[in-house]
């Protein structure tokens, strides 16, 4: 007598991984795309949806929903050396756009490093995802990385809220965190851009930022931040400094004269916004008459192409 296969209970919570993101609507969308994807598979039999394939790197385009805009060049070089020695262990995940055309869902860093390593083909999981599902998949996949800085994490949560139209509690459920933890990350985005970049570039830790955000005045926040950088203050010392400021003068900024050649607060804010947008340190020089220069460095041809895509989307 043939033994019936028992149905496994549906997994809930974090253990479901990325599959938890596929809602009923997305499952319906998958069934509706069967005919078109089967046709694509017949036209391009070497790359079948649902399989793992070796794809030419030139056929894979970047994900426009990629929440990560900054890729550390030294880290990429280190990964590329590892790929040269051991190959790419973890395949990227892509969706099929058409004949010999794919788009990354997750793994842009691995793709960049593979190109630097000189790989012509890259292992990839191929799947179907609509734009909304793809955005959520990319965001949650990215948020589970260990090497994200707090600002990248905060921006990821913000995009889940704004673009995927879910609540803070639902964001917490997606990534396995308490609502209060997600809220603490979101508050970081209220800091001035200069402090956000310092946090992104590991000049300060999240503990420093959480102390600074309790200061209500932006100029005071920036003054305390600069003191932190200049004196290399620990989190505990910054917390003490913030407490002294609040007790002494009700969170009023100190009046300081700008040295010659220094950027005004407004110009520093613009410089910080440009640096955040381009994912690299932007230099600005402003003359007294209002004229000036903006310098945006790049570190490779791929990095230049990335900047051009940001300038001309």
Active-site residue numbers?
Answer: 108
Distance between CA atoms of residues 41 and 48, nearest Å:
5
Q: How far apart are CA 297 and CA 283, in angstroms?
A: 9
Residue 177 CA: distances (Å) to CA of 143, 169, 183, 296, 299: 11, 9, 10, 37, 36
> Max alpha carbon distance in the chain (Å)?
91
Tokens of 281: 């340190």
- DSSP 8-state assignment for residue 99: T
CA distances from 133 to 49, 249, 250, 275 (A): 16, 50, 47, 29
- Measured in whole angstroms, the distance separating CA 9 from the mean position of its chain's CA atoms is 34
**Contact assessment for residue 84 and residue 117, using Cβ atoms and an 8 Å cutoff:** yes
Q: Is 204 exposed, middle or buried (0-12, 13-18, 19+ CB in 10 A)?
A: buried
List, in order, residues 6 or more apart from 86 with CB less than 8 Å away: none
Q: Report the C-alpha dihedral over residues 80, 197, 138, 119, rounded to 10 degrees.
A: -10
């Amino acid at each position: 007598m043939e033994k019936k296969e028992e149905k496994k209970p549906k997994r809930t919570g974090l253990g479901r991984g990325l599959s938890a993101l596929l809602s009923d609507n997305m499952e319906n969308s998958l069934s509706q795309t069967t005919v078109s994807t089967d046709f694509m598979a017949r036209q391009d039999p070497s790359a079948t949806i649902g399989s793992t394939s070796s794809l030419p790197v030139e056929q894979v385009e970047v994900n426009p929903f990629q929440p990560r805009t900054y890729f550390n060049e030294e880290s990429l070089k280190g990964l590329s050396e590892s790929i040269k020695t051991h190959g790419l262990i973890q395949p990227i995940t892509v969706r099929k756009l058409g004949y010999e055309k794919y788009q990354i869902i997750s793994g842009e860093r691995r793709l960049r490093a593979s190109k630097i390593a000189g790989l012509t083909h890259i292992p990839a999981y191929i799947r179907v995802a609509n734009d909304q599902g793809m955005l959520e998949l990319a965001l949650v996949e990215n948020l589970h990385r260990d090497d994200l800085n707090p600002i990248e994490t905060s921006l990821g949560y913000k995009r889940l809220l704004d673009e995927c139209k879910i609540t803070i509690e639902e964001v917490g459920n997606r990534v396995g965190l308490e609502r209060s933890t997600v809220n603490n990350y979101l508050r970081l985005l209220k800091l001035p851009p200069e402090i956000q970049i310092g946090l992104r570039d590991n000049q300060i830790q999240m503990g420093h930022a959480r102390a600074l955000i309790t200061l209500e005045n932006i100029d005071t926040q920036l003054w305390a931040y600069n003191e932190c950088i200049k004196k290399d203050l620990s989190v505990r010392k910054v917390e003490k400094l913030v407490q002294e400021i609040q007790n002494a003068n009700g969170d009023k900024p100190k009046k300081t004269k700008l040295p010659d050649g220094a950027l005004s607060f407004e110009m520093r804010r613009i410089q910080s916004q440009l640096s955040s947008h381009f994912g690299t340190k932007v230099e600005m020089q402003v003359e007294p008459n209002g004229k000036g220069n903006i310098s945006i460095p790049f570190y490779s041809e791929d990095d230049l192409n990335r900047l051009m895509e940001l300038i001309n989307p």
